[in-house]
C-alpha cells in the first residue's frame, strides 16, 4: 500500500499526537489540526487523501467542517470519529458525504483498515475522472 496523506483533526492533543506518530510509523504523511479553522488552513497547502475528523470540537464542529471540506475538496474522503454516540449525527455526517463514522475508543488496526479503504476509494474516483478526461 502506498503512503496515505492524512489530516487528523481533534481537539484532544494527546490523542492526536499519539495517533499521528503511529500512522507516520506506517509510512504515511500525517498533518495534525486541533480545530476546524486550522484544518481548513492546512488543506490549502496539504493535499490530503483522507481526513479523520472528530465530531465534537470547540468552535467549528466536525459536521460543519465536513460540509466545508466536501464543498471545496469533494474527492477527499472524511472519516468521522466521536466519543459521543449519536445516530442523528452519524446519519447527518453520511448525508454530508462522510466515508464512514467510527466510535472512540477504536482499535488501531480497525481504524487503519478504514483509512486504507477510504484511500482506495479516493484513488478509484481519481482514476475514473482521469479516464473520463482522456476519453473526452
Q: Is the pLDDT of residue 7 over 90?
A: yes
Q: Please check whether residue 36 is in contact with residue 59, taking contact to mean a CB–CB distance below 8 angstroms.
A: yes
Percent of the chain predicted with pLDDT > 90:
85
Q: What is the pLDDT of residue 61?
A: 94
pTM over 0.85: yes
Q: What is the pLDDT of residue 109?
A: 96
Domains of the chain: 5-134 (3.40.50.2300)
First to last CA, the chain: 30
Q: What is the pLDDT of residue 82?
A: 85
Which three cell numbers mark 94?
453520511
Q: What is the pLDDT of residue 91?
A: 86
- Distance CA(19)–CA(68), nearest Å, equals 24
The dihedral formed by the CA atoms of 108, 61, 57 and 113, expressed in degrees to the nearest 10: 0
pLDDT digits (tens, 9 = 90+) for 32-78: 999 999 999 999 999 999 999 999 999 999 999 999 999 999 999 99
Average of per-residue pLDDT across 87-103: 90
pLDDT band for position 104 (50/70/90)? confident
- Distance CA(85)–CA(67), nearest Å, equals 20
Which three cell numbers mark 121?
476509494
DSSP string, 77-106: EEEEEESS--HHHHHHHHHTT-SEEEESS-
Three-state DSSP class for 45? coil
Q: Which of 111, 110, 122 is nearest to 48 (CA)?
A: 122
pLDDT band for position 120 (50/70/90)? very high
Amino acid at each position: 500500500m502506498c503512503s496515505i496523506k492524512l489530516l487528523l483533526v481533534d481537539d484532544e492533543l494527546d490523542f492526536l499526537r499519539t495517533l499521528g506518530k503511529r500512522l507516520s510509523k506506517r509510512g504515511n504523511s500525517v498533518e495534525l489540526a486541533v480545530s476546524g479553522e486550522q484544518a481548513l488552513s492546512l488543506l490549502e497547502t496539504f493535499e490530503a487523501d483522507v481526513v479523520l475528523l472528530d465530531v465534537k470540537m470547540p468552535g467549528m464542529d466536525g459536521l460543519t467542517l465536513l460540509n466545508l471540506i466536501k464543498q471545496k475538496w469533494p474527492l477527499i474522503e472524511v472519516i468521522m470519529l466521536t466519543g459521543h454516540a449519536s445516530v442523528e449525527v452519524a446519519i447527518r455526517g453520511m448525508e454530508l458525504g462522510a466515508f464512514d463514522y467510527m466510535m472512540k475508543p477504536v482499535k488501531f488496526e480497525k481504524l487503519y483498515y478504514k483509512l486504507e479503504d477510504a484511500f482506495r476509494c479516493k484513488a478509484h474516483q481519481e482514476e475514473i475522472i482521469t479516464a473520463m478526461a482522456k476519453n473526452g
